[in-house]
Structures are given as structure tokens and as C-alpha cells.
Structure 1
Amino acid sequence: MIAWTILPLVVVLSWLMTGALRRYALARSIIDVPNARSSHTIPTPRGGGVAIVVVFLLAIPFLSGFDLLQSDAAFALVGAGLGIALLGFLDDHGHVAARWRLLGHFLSAAWVLYWLGGLPAVMVFGHAVDVGWWGHAFALFYLVWLLNLYNFMDGIDGLASIEAISVCLGGALLYSLLNQQALAVLPISLACAVLGFLIWNFPPAKIFMGDAGSGFLGITLGVFSLQAAWISPSLFYGWLILLGVFIVDATATLLRRLLRGEKVYEAHRSHAYQYASRQYARHLPVTLGVLFINVLWLLPLACVVTLGLLDGALGLIIAYVPLVLLALKYRAGQAEIR
């Protein structure tokens, strides 16, 4: 049984460590200084996401005895998560060339697929589709894209934290609906670790997550979703629905920039959430708006799909269409007016 008494301690330790990292960042001048591409106006220390990584990984052995350490998902998570976090930490402290970062991302994704066994057959409108090695290749790029898009979407106060908490708690609910409560341990504990960080990151943020934290969250949520795919195809769709806001905004932005021939690896601020935060002149309404979408729209649909009351592919389309329209309304990927 999950040691529920550990979870409040996870929150407190994450909060304390984030505060310590803030003092460290200020002392070492690890600061995000606003520029023309920024969504903030005040120099702010970064790297607080390391607290999420350390506290979450340290908590795993204590959450359910040491059983979790023997699971393939734990090996996938710890190996890939540590690699991505270390790469992000080095980038936060200096600069790691894009090609080396990308190589590290693919190696970490390959590590995950080795332990999880790749991507199982998925149900598409009632038909099982097993694409073999093509499915594994898709899963590889899916993981790399998810960890990168999480970094792209970590651009305003509290957004990446709120997304992680709501998605993880939503995922835990989906497991409960299928009587898979044991699998809820990791998502709930990650949500608690992020909550401790959010206390410092809630608008107006006193510290930013940094690449170490955002990349770790991206790859971890990817592990959770692929693990879910092996349990039930409908559960995999449920996780994809829960991740909809970040997936749609980042993907729509990338595609529109590609179509214009822009260098997609260059910094920009043309995501829908960035345009929205400038329109409202505040981060808080956008961050809370994403929370409301996750809880009031995406979570109910994910529950219906997971219970088998709605086809997964159809549910995904129903969930994503309004998100695409919303992203276009807020000009996702549209060229900035200089």
C-alpha cells in the first residue's frame, strides 16, 4: 500500500529544496534576464526544477516499500529522467550545443523504449493496429517531442507546474477507474513534488523551473503514457487527452513556423499561451485558464474514453478540435509583429 504519509513530506522537501536552489542561483548569478523573446520582465533565478527531480526520485523507494524499484517503468524513468535532468542542468549553467542535447534526448527515449518494450498495438476506431518497428520509431519521436515541447511550453509563471499537477492527478484518477490504484503511486508523488516547487513558481514566480525540470517532466509524463498503453489502449488515449493543451499549442506553433520556413530551433515567443499572456498583460489568467481546461474539459473526456464509453481515437479528436481552434484564436505560430 502506498505510504500516504510520505506525500506531505514530498511537498515540504520540494518546497525547502526549491528555496535553497533559489539562494544558490542568486549567489551564482544563474538568472534569466528578460530580452525581446521573453514573456517576463523581471530578472529571475532559474533551475528550481532540480528540486522536483531530486525529491521525486528519492521518494520512489519509500512510496511502496521497494517494490517500485523492481519495475521496468522505474528503470525507464530513473535512467532517462536522470539523463535528461543532468543535460538540462548543464545547459542551465552554461550552454550545451543543440546537436548534443538532441542526441541525449534520443538516447534517453531509446532507454525508455528498451525497458517498456516499445509501443504496443493501439486501437484506431475499433481496429487493433500493430505497426511493429514503425510503432517503436513513432514512440521514439513521441518521447523526444514531448520532452522538448514541455521545455517550449515552460515560458510563463506556473504554467508547466499546473500542467504537470493536473495531468498527473488526472492520470491517477484514470488508473483508479480501472482498479489499477497501484499505478497511481508515481503520478501522485510527482504531482506532490511539483506542488512544492509551485509554491515558489506561482505567479509572480520567484524562481523558474529551468531545462532540468521541464525536460524531466516531459520525459516522465511520456513514460507514464507509454506505460499506460501497455495496460489498456483506452488508457493511453486518456493520457494523450490529458496532455492536450501542451501537445496542441506546441505542435500547432511548430507546424506554422515550419511552413513559413523559420528556424524552429531559434528562440521565439509565438506560442498561443505567450500571445495570450501578452494580451491579458498577466500570466495568472492564462495559467488558471489551462487548469480549467484540463479539469473541466479534458479530464471528463479522458474518463469517458478510459471507461470504454467512447472510442479512444474519436475521443481524442473531440478533445483536440476545440484546443486547435483556441490555439489558432490566440495566434499559435503566427509571425510576431516587430
Structure 2
Amino acid sequence: MMYWAIPFITGLSLLLTALLRRYALAKSIIDIPNARSSHSLPTPRGGGVAIVVALLAALPLLGWAGLLDSAPLAALFGAGLLVAVIGFMDDHGHIAARWRLLGHFSAAIWALLWMGGLPPLELFGHTLALGWIGHVLAAFYLVWMLNLYNFMDGIDGIASVEAITACLGISLLCWLAAAPQLVWLPLLLAAAVAGFLFWNFPPARIFMGDAGSGFLGVVLGVISLQAAWVSSQLFWAWLILLGVFVVDATFTLARRLVRGDKVYEAHRSHAYQFASRRYGRHLPVTLAVCAINLLWLLPMAAGVVLAGLDGLTGVLVAYAPLVALAVYYRAGSRED
């Protein structure tokens, strides 16, 4: 087993983040607070590249050890690298939204060609095969996952904590469900993010940047589809474990669309952003996300994977209080 890889990947990410911080300070790659920011101090950005390099280094190791098949390895490497390069270029300048979106869909299509698209899913005891419609939906799913992760990476530590808790949770469930082939990839992704979190934990000394957040979003999306080919229940479990980000981002976007806002413009109207301003700090919100993931979403996901709860029912039950929290914290409302 590759237990040695966990401290190696964590240490690699930790060291690379320190080097990236020095690079960002030297090159003045600094996030300057403005009216749309959730932070108040100038902070270097782009540290998420450490997560990218650490995980891409881990993928060949997993393949060499026989813990990752060639198809998901190629899907993750190609899609993740393309999204990270687009994000890196955007961190250093600006890429028009239409070109970013074209790149994102190209990455999604690449991944789906290797993964075989969207597998049949179990709904209320019936198997639903959507064919080419499912593949189109899967492409939009991957693009939405990478963009929502970018949207939700707005306060210190929140994107890192979300990824770590979701990955450790699914690794545990895969191990308990006798699916050991799915344990190591999310486990090493959690290790890569943990090294970065050392520098990003509130108060953050470096931000993730679009390269890291987009990479995390698309990788989590691809891993969830990999799990879906093994078990529908594991796919539903992934959706449950990522529920805080999925609900906040989707609810906020829908409300802004209905109001006629320009959804591609920066804003501070996510529930977590309203909450961080209400409490005056990022730490309580980040810790609350961690608690929700571990104390509510992980047991709900376990109910689907281990106790036979219908997957879609589990998602709806798990999301109900999250929607209530989004309403309570005014997600998508106009900013004061």
C-alpha cells in the first residue's frame, strides 16, 4: 500500500505553497481588497497551483501501483491540467468569459470521452440510462462543478475544508462499502489540499486562486463520475458530501438569474459571504462548514451507501436544511 504517499504529497504541497507565496510577493500577484471582496488585507494569490502539481504528481504513482486505471488517470490529468492552465492565466491577467467557458467545456468533454460519459443511475429502485442526453448533462455537471468551486472560494479556508472533508468522507465510505479501488485517489487529493490549507487557514497567508479552485472543482466532478460507474449510491454520496457548495452556489445563481443580474460579474451575495460579514470573521463560517459536512452530510451519505437509503431521496433530505440556511443568510440577495 502507498501509505508513504500521504505525507509525501502533503509535504510537497506544503513546500510548493511556501514557494508560490514567495513568487507571488516577488511578482506582486496580490489580491487587493475592493468593494466585492470578502477580505480586508492585500494577500498573495495563486497558491492553489501547489494542489495541482501535488495531485498531478500523485496520479502516475497511483497508476504505477495499480490503484488507478488508465482511463480515469488520463481524464483527470488532461481535464485538470487544462482547467488549471486557464485559471493560472486568468490569475495573471484576464481571459474573456466566453474563452474560459470554451476551455472548461473542452476539459469536460475530454474527461467524459475517457470516462465513458454518464453511467446509468438508480432512481427510486429503477435504473435510468439517459444515453447521449446523459452525456450532455454530465458535461454541464463538470463545468458547473468547476465554476461553483471558484464561486465558493471566497473566504479563508472554506474551499480547502470542503475538499478535505468530502474526500476523507468518501474514502471512508468506499472502504466500508468494499470499494477499495476508489479509496486512494480522494485520499491523496485530501493530502494535497491539506498541505495548502496550512497556509490558507484563517487568517490566510495566500489565496487559492482560479487555478486551484477550478482544478479542485473539475477533479471532484470527475472522481464522482468515476464512482458512479462503480455504484450509483457512491455518486449520490458525492453529491451529498459536496452539498454545502452545491446548494449555496446554485441557490445564489438561480436567485440572481431571476432578478436579472449579470451572473458573470463578481459579487458577495453567497450565503457564506453574508455569514462571514455578519460574524465579522471567516473562521466561524469555515468551521461551521466543516461541522455540517462531518455531523450532517457524512451520516446522510453513509445512509445511502451503507443503509440502503434511496440516493435521490438522501440528496433531497440532506439538502433541505442547507436550502433553509441559504434562505436564512439571504443567498442571492442584493448586497447592503
Is TM > 0.5 for Structure 1 vs Structure 2? yes
**Corresponding residue for 1:38?**
37
**Is the CA contact 2:21–2:47 (under 8 Å) kept in the aligned structure 1?**
yes
Which sections of structure 2, spanning at least 5 residues, go unmatched? none
In structure 2, C-alpha distance between the alignment counterparts of 1:169 and 1:58, rounded to whole Å? 19
Partner of 1:120: 119
Distance, in Å, in 2 between the alignment partners of 1:212 and 1:187 is 19
Shift of 1:261: 0.3
* Residue 181 (structure 2) aligns with: 182
Task: Provide TM-score, normalisation by structure 1.
Answer: 0.97
Deviation digits for residues 172-225 of structure 1 (CA, Å, limit 9, x no counterpart) = 112112211232111010100100000000000000000000000000000111
Letter in 2 for 1:128: T
2:182/2:227 contact within 8 Å kept: no
Task: Name the aligned partner's letter for residue 111 of structure 2.
Answer: V
Distance 1:108 1:225 in 2: 16
Alignment of 1:154 with 2:136, yes or no, is no
Whether the aligned pair in 2 keeps the contact of 1:234 and 1:308 (CA below 8 Å) is no
Q: Where in structure 2 are the equivalents of 1:82-101 lying within 5 Å?
A: 82-101=81-100
Q: Deviations over 1:101-155 (max 9, x none)?
A: 0000000000111011111111111121111111111111000000000000000
CA distance in 2 between partners of 1:218 and 1:28 (Å) = 27
> How many aligned positions are there?
336
User: 1:1-338 counterparts in 2 under 5 A?
Assistant: 1=1, 3-63=2-62, 65-68=64-67, 70-337=69-336
Q: Is the 8 A contact 2:48 2:213 kept in 1?
A: yes
Amino acid at match of 1:144: V
Is residue 147–residue 215 contact of structure 1 (8 Å, CA) maintained in 2?
yes
What is the Cα deviation at residue 309 of structure 1?
A: 2.2
Aligned-partner SS, 2:304: helix
* CA distance, structure 1, for counterparts of residue 312 and residue 178 of structure 2: 23
CA distance in 2, matches of 1:117, 1:63: 20
1:61 to partner: Cα distance: 2.5
Gap runs ≥5 in structure 1: none
CA contact (8 A) 2:68 2:181 kept: no
Q: 1:158–1:201: 8 Å Cα contact kept in structure 2?
A: yes
Give runs of ≥4 in structure 1 deviating > 4 Å.
none
Structure 1 CA distance, aligned partners of 2:263 and 2:7? 40
Report % sequence identity.
Answer: 65
Residue 230 of structure 1 and its aligned partner are, at CA, apart by 0.6
Q: Which moved more, 1:50-59 or 1:196-205?
A: 50-59
The RMSD of aligned alpha carbons is 1.1
**What TM-score comes out, normalization by structure 2 length?**
0.98
SS of residue matched to 1:67: coil
What letter matches 2:330 in structure 1? R
Distance (Å, rounded) in 1 between the aligned partners of 2:283 and 2:19: 25
Letter in 2 for 1:304: G
Please say if residues 269 and 275 of structure 1, whose CA atoms lie closer than 8 Å, have aligned partners that are also in contact.
yes
Amino acid at match of 2:103: G
CA distance, structure 2, for counterparts of residue 115 and residue 169 of structure 1: 25
Contact kept, 8 Å, 1:6 with 1:63, in 2: the verdict is: no
Contact 2:75 2:114 in 1 (8 A): yes
Does the CA-based 8 Å contact 1:85-1:212 persist in structure 2?
yes
Amino acid at match of 2:77: V
Q: Alpha-carbon deviations, 1:281-337, whole Å to 9, x = none?
A: 000000000000000000011011012421111111100011000111011001112
Deviation at 1:66, TM superposition (A): 4.6
Q: Which secondary structure state, in structure 2, belongs to the residue aligned with residue 128 of structure 1?
A: strand
